[in-house]
Amino acid sequence: MHIILVSDRLATAKSITLGTRHLLLGMALLTAAVVALSSSMFYLVFRHAIEIKLPMVQTLLLSAQEQQSRSAKEFMRENLNAMAVRVGQMQAQLVRLDALGERLSALAGVKPQEFRMSELPGRGGALPESIPVQNLSMNDLTGQLDALSKHVENRYDYMGILENQLFDARVKKKLMPTVKPVDVSWNASSFGWRIDPITGQNAMHEGIDFLVDTGTPVHAAAGGLVVVARFHPQYGKVIDIDHGNGFTTRYAHNSKLLVKVGDLVQRGAVIAESGSTGRSTGPHMHFEVRYKGVAQNPNRFLKVSAASVKTR
């Protein structure tokens, strides 16, 4: 590009040649000047928008404030929704705790009022005048919810363990021979040393004898597995039941056996009919309790059942 300069002060005309490089540099300088001028005007206008009170500028400012307010409200709403979900989850956990508490109260005999976790306990106290109260921030509230959620989970796990322990104790109790084998109020011969009714000698009696008529139903003192159901020269028609944990019971001198080896019997189930088979002087039911093969006094176990009935 050639530029010819003509002036009265110049004796001759001057010619200036501008190449591509000069054109690009000029355009860049012009663009920078325009941007700088626009930025300055924008700053000055918005810096003094309140004093100038231009309608268009005021409208832009209000629009920006409204958009910022909407963004803040949306952010708060999202956080509140998240907190509402957390509260809902914790409420579901509390319902589970209430249900578990009812089962525990049934197993342990605890009053149901002690497991009403849905009802908040009464609390109070005076506010100190010298220390101002403070509002919880969103982070503080979130932290409190996290801590409460962990506490509820730990409580649920603890109560689950307690439920298992109580259930195990209840099962073991059902496996203890505490049910009377026959429905009579007293026994004819107790556990221990006595005069043998056949030989007349002092001999150890390893069970107790109930005086009943032939054909009286004989009940299992506890649930277990039948390990013996046969005729024995001394015990006659006899049944042995294994209750686990080293405990077994024996029912002797029966007239009829109603179970066989390998049968699982429930607590109180009828397993035989009483009689006078084997080494016996008359109709009765001989009952033994053994722990790891050693004879125990059956009255100790039957008294536990009688005591529990009295306390109900």
Of the two residues 63 and 289, the one the predictor is more confident about is: 289
pLDDT digits (tens, 9 = 90+) for 33-48: 888 887 777 666 656 5
**Per-residue pLDDT, 308:** 47
Q: Report the pLDDT averaged over residues 90-109.
A: 70
**Per-residue pLDDT, 311:** 38
**Per-residue pLDDT, 234:** 93
Q: Report the pLDDT averaged over residues 54-74.
A: 71
**Per-residue pLDDT, 273:** 97
**Rounded Cα gap, residues 41 and 38, in angstroms:** 5
Q: Is the pLDDT of residue 181 over 70?
A: yes
**Per-residue pLDDT, 4:** 63
**Per-residue pLDDT, 93:** 72
Of the two residues 57 and 277, the one the predictor is more confident about is: 277
Of the two residues 92 and 229, the one the predictor is more confident about is: 229
**Per-residue pLDDT, 66:** 79
Q: Is the pLDDT of residue 186 over 70?
A: yes
Q: What is the pTM of this model?
A: 0.50
Q: Report the pLDDT averaged over residues 158-180.
A: 74
Q: Which amino acid is at 261?
A: V
**Per-residue pLDDT, 119:** 53
pLDDT digits (tens, 9 = 90+) for 19-32: 677 677 778 888 88
**Per-residue pLDDT, 147:** 74
Of the two residues 213 and 18, the one the predictor is more confident about is: 213
Of the two residues 238 and 1, the one the predictor is more confident about is: 238
Of the two residues 224 and 89, the one the predictor is more confident about is: 224
**Per-residue pLDDT, 312:** 37
Of the two residues 104 and 51, the one the predictor is more confident about is: 104
Q: Report the pLDDT averaged over residues 138-150.
A: 73
Q: Is the pLDDT of residue 51 over 60?
A: no
Considering the chain, what is the average pLDDT of its residues?
A: 77
Q: Is the pLDDT of residue 49 over 90?
A: no
Please give the share of the chain, as a percent, with pLDDT higher than 70.
65
